[in-house]
Amino acid sequence: MQIDREQAGSDVVLKVTGRLDTPNAKPFETSLLDAVSGSEGAITVDLAGVDYVSSSGLRALLVAGKAMRTAKRDLTLRSLQPQIREVFDISGFSTLFEIK
Amino acid sequence: MLASAELLAGLGLLFIGLKLLSGHLQQAMGRRVRILLKGATRSRIVGFVSGAITGAVVQSSNAVTLISANLVRGGALTTRDAIPVVAGANVGTSALVFVASVDLKVAVFYLIALVGLCYQFKLDRTPARREWLGVLLGLALLFLGLSLIKLAPQDVSPQTIAALLGDISLPVGFMIGLAVAVITQSASTATILCLASIGTGTIDLIDSFFIVLGANLGSGIATLVSAGGLKGTGRQLCFVHIFVKVTGCLAVYLVWLALPLAGIDPAAALLDFGQDQAPFAISLLFLALQLTGGLAVTLFCRESETLARRLSPPTREDHVSQPHFITDQAMEDPASALELVAQETNRLVRHLPELLPDLDQRAGDDGKVRAVHWRGARAICEATGQFLVELIDRHLTRADLDLALLLQEEQRLLHSLQDTLKDFGDLIDGYGEPPVLAFNLCESLRTMMLELAEAQTGTEADFDLVIALTADKSTALDRIRRTLATGDLGSGEEARNLLTAVSLFERSMWLAHRLAMTLRLRANEANREAPPHHLNRDKADADRS
């Protein structure tokens, strides 16, 4: 898995490539939380390069989502592949995050 | 022809009667039986007497053995506590054999009349009365069947009977008794049949002796057969049941062999013991078998436990089936008992994710491990449910009753959720490599269960998040159903399996949603009852001063 971070003013974009599975979930969560604590604006996670999301990956996003909600900031997900979009829809994440 | 029809009808009525009697007695006495058996923790004598009463009531030592085995698995009894219970239960089953040795034909007619009139005048409206009427009807049919069996041989010429049974050797008699007991799952049924035959002179006392001996051993074997699913600690009591039977058979047979050495004819001595009444003598023989076996095993309780433990060592399932918090002693203080139920429930919720496959890290025996966890969780859920029912019976305060009912609802939802997750997991296991939809459903469900488990140690906001995530998903799921109907995601068996997976997923989500709501409600109540920390400190200061 590879995570590229782009800073746009106070906002952050994280471009993720690879699998969001159990071994990668912890580094992914750390990157997300670093972005939350290291910026003051919105965070966008680009999932165009992700073709596999397991429960560990979903929970990493949920942890970041809770932190952003507490900080009253927006966490947006974008460019989801269809099978990834499906897992977000049926798990109810689509109502929790803004998805573009 | 008529004789064989009478015999078959008699057998049919006997079996129906036994089934009705046992089934309705267990319904009528079910909870009281469990309470009675739990008293066995006090002493071996109390355990033996409790077992004898239960055996007499339930009329099946197999049933008492299996109920006790479940109590042991649920942690309410230890194997050593339950050994005298199983031993006593065998003695208790003798009651029916004694009743059957008396001619109750006229009483049976009155019994049937009584049951019929009660039904006619609608005196069976309450569930309890219905069960007791079922018990009486079962008893009446049982004795009616016996009467028919006794009548049948009278229509057959003595020469025919001699030709049929004259050549029964003693080992064959033993094997017949054993086979009948294994088939009917009851030594007393085989003995009662023997009583009916001996009463009409179809078989003699010596044949009966060996048939009853075989039946006694057969009933022990039957317990092992009917306990096929039980393993580990639960199975230990089945071996104890066999010890009772084998010890009884050996002790009585040794006396039978020893008597001629003292110049006594054993058959004559047995008849003499039964006051020249062969059926009564056989009833006494049956009682002697149960008493000698039962008392010996009770006296050597520790040794019996060691041997049973060696034959069926505790399994991992035994470990995961033990409640961690609830104990019978806690019942004395309802408020603490409810707190323990709450902790037991929380623990079960924390273990919910273990019932689902982890598709990220699949191992070969995942399904078996999960099945063990499911059986364990289910056993604890059932034990906790029973505990709550007994607690509610104890005239709780209004607040405690409200909490008990809330916990009962949580248990009900948890039980259903455990079963649904198990079915869903089994379905996913059926795939070598699950299709994308099955994978997504499984990982979503696993995420919800992990979140629900984690919310236990979190804040109300964590429960709110789970409630939001598990809210109605009919729009997304209906879209998937429509796609499946078009055959785009597979056809035939594959599509049917995916549809089932979607339905199980939806049901799990609904149950998790309801469960999260009740858990949040309980967390709210607990927070409201607990005064803020500084108030506790102020109160402690005031108490000190």
DSSP B346-410: HHHHHTGGGGS--TTS--TTHHHHHHHHHHHHHHHHHHHHHHHHHHHTT---HHHHHHHHHHHHH
Question: What are A96's two structure tokens?
Answer: 């929790």
Q: Write phi, then psi, for B489 (nearest 5 degrees).
A: -105, 20
pLDDT at B427: 94
Sign of the CA dihedral A50, A54, A57, A58? positive
Task: Count how many Cα atoms sit within 13 Å of the Cα of residue B97 in the half-sphere of its side chain.
Answer: 33
- Burial (CB < 10 A; 0-12, 13-18, 19+), residue B374, is buried
Other CB atoms within 10 Å distance of the CB of residue B171: 10
Contacts of B244 (CB under 8 A, 6+ apart): B61, B86, B87, B90, B220, B290, B293, B294, B296, B297
Contact B465 A59 (CB under 8 A): no
Got the DSSP string for B190-205?
A: HHHHHHHHHHTTSS-H
**Minimal CA–CA distance to B449: which of B472, B476, B469?**
B469
Find the CB nearest B436 among A22, A83, A96.
A83
Residue span of the structural domain in which A30 resides: 2-99
Question: What are B529's two structure tokens?
Answer: 């009852």
Whether residue B10 contacts residue B152, with contact meaning beta carbons closer than 8 Å, is answered with: yes
Q: In this complex, is the C-beta atom of B399 within 8 Å of any C-beta atom belonging to chain A?
A: no
**Length of chain B in residues, anyone?**
545
Reported as a pLDDT band with limits 50, 70 and 90, residue A61 is very high
Residue with token string 């009591």: B237
Sign of the CA dihedral B486, B489, B490, B492? negative
Going along chain B from its start, the domains and CATH numbers come out as 2-156+165-311 (no CATH), 339-534 (1.20.58)
Query: Which residues 16-75 on chain A approach chain B with CB closer than 8 angstroms?
Result: 21-22, 53-56, 58-59, 62, 66
DSSP B487: T
Question: Residue B36 and residue B47: Cα distance in Å, rounded?
Answer: 9
Query: Which residues in chain A are contacts of B468 at CB distance < 8 A?
Result: 92, 95-96
Find the CB nearest B447 among A58, A86, A89.
A58
Query: Which residues in chain B are contacts of A96 at CB distance < 8 A?
Result: 465, 468-469
Whether residue B313 contacts residue B291, with contact meaning beta carbons closer than 8 Å, is answered with: no
CATH number at residue A74: 3.30.750.24
Task: Count how many Cα atoms sit within 13 Å of the Cα of residue B45 in the half-sphere of its side chain.
Answer: 0
pLDDT at B164: 54
Task: Count how many Cα atoms sit within 13 Å of the Cα of residue B327 in the half-sphere of its side chain.
Answer: 7
pLDDT at A20: 93
**Number of separate domains in chain A:** 1
Min Cα separation A9/chain B (Å): 31
Q: In this structure, what is the dihedral angle of CA atoms B498, B504, B505, B506, given to the nearest 10 degrees?
A: 110
The arrangement of strands across the sheet holding A43-53 comes to A2-8, A11-20, A43-53, A75-78, A98-99
Q: In this complex, is the C-beta atom of A81 within 8 Å of any C-beta atom belonging to chain B?
A: no
Residue A91: closest CA among chain B residues belongs to which residue?
B444
Min Cα separation A51/chain B (Å): 11
User: What residue ranges in B19-81 does DSSP mark as E strands?
Assistant: none
Query: Which of B356, B361, B444, B489 to probe by mutation at the A interface, max A CB count within 10 Å?
Result: B444
Question: Residue B234 and residue B348: Cα distance in Å, rounded?
Answer: 21
**Minimal CA–CA distance to B410: which of B349, B455, B463, B470?**
B349
**Length of chain A in residues, anyone?**
100
Residue B361: closest CA among chain A residues belongs to which residue?
A22
pTM summary value: 0.67
pLDDT at B173: 84
Query: Which of A68, A91, A97 to probe by mutation at the B interface, max B CB count within 10 Å?
Result: A91
Q: Write phi, then psi, for B360 (nearest 5 degrees).
A: -75, -35
pLDDT at B302: 92
Whether residue B215 contacts residue B190, with contact meaning beta carbons closer than 8 Å, is answered with: yes
Find the CB nearest A62 among B443, B451, B480.
B451
Contact B360 A21 (CB under 8 A): yes
pLDDT at B153: 55
Degrees (nearest 5) of the Cα angle B169, B170, B174?
A: 120
Question: Residue B51 and residue B60: Cα distance in Å, rounded?
Answer: 11
Question: Residue B210 and residue B189: Cα distance in Å, rounded?
Answer: 15
Question: Residue B14 and residue B192: Cα distance in Å, rounded?
Answer: 10
Task: Count how many Cα atoms sit within 13 Å of the Cα of residue B180 in the half-sphere of its side chain.
Answer: 23
Q: What residues of chain B score a pLDDT lower than 70?
A: 1-3, 22, 25-34, 38, 40-41, 74-75, 103-104, 150-169, 200, 228-229, 364, 489-490, 528-545
Residue B435: closest CA among chain A residues belongs to which residue?
A83
Contact B450 A55 (CB under 8 A): yes
Contact B447 A95 (CB under 8 A): no
Question: What are B141's two structure tokens?
Answer: 């049919």
Query: Which residues 432-461 on chain B approach chain A with CB closer than 8 angstroms?
Result: 436-437, 440-441, 443-444, 446-448, 450-451
Is the interface score ipTM higher than 0.90?
yes
Question: What are B91's two structure tokens?
Answer: 């003695």
Q: In this complex, is the C-beta atom of B360 within 8 Å of any C-beta atom belonging to chain A?
A: yes
